[in-house]
Amino acid sequence: MVNATKGLLISCDIPMAQFIINLNASLPASQKFIIHILDSTHMFVQSHVSDMIRSAISDFREQNSYEKPS
């Protein structure tokens, strides 16, 4: 019997994959979104979390950006 799940394939570098895995681990069990980690740079996640992942990555990049003092 075939079991299909709708989701998104994420392909990224290793540090970003670790960030997403850590984000998933910080959520309660009912809100975890990673369906399967394929390898160190690919993962399959639930499709409804794409905007949440994008905003978390955007916030992370803003916090870690260097701005030259004027």
What domain count does the chain have? Answer: 1
Q: What are phi and psi of 14, to 5 degrees?
A: -60, -45
What distances in angstroms separate CA 1 from CA 44, 49, 65, one per listed residue?
A: 21, 28, 49
Please indicate whether residue 21 or residue 67 has the higher confidence score (pLDDT).
21
CB 17 within 8 A of CB 57: no
Global pTM reads 0.84
Task: Answer yes or no: is 53 within a domain.
Answer: yes
What domain range is 55 assigned to?
A: 8-63
Task: Answer yes or no: is 3 within a domain.
Answer: no
CATH of the domain at 39: 3.30.70.1220
Task: Answer yes or no: is 1 within a domain.
Answer: no
DSSP H helices in 1-70: 14-25, 50-63
Task: Answer yes or no: is 36 within a domain.
Answer: yes
Task: Answer yes or no: is 70 within a domain.
Answer: no
Task: Answer yes or no: is 32 within a domain.
Answer: yes
Residue length of the chain: 70
Task: Answer yes or no: is 33 within a domain.
Answer: yes
What pLDDT digit, counting tens, does each position of 24-51 carry?
Answer: 999 999 999 999 999 999 999 999 999 9
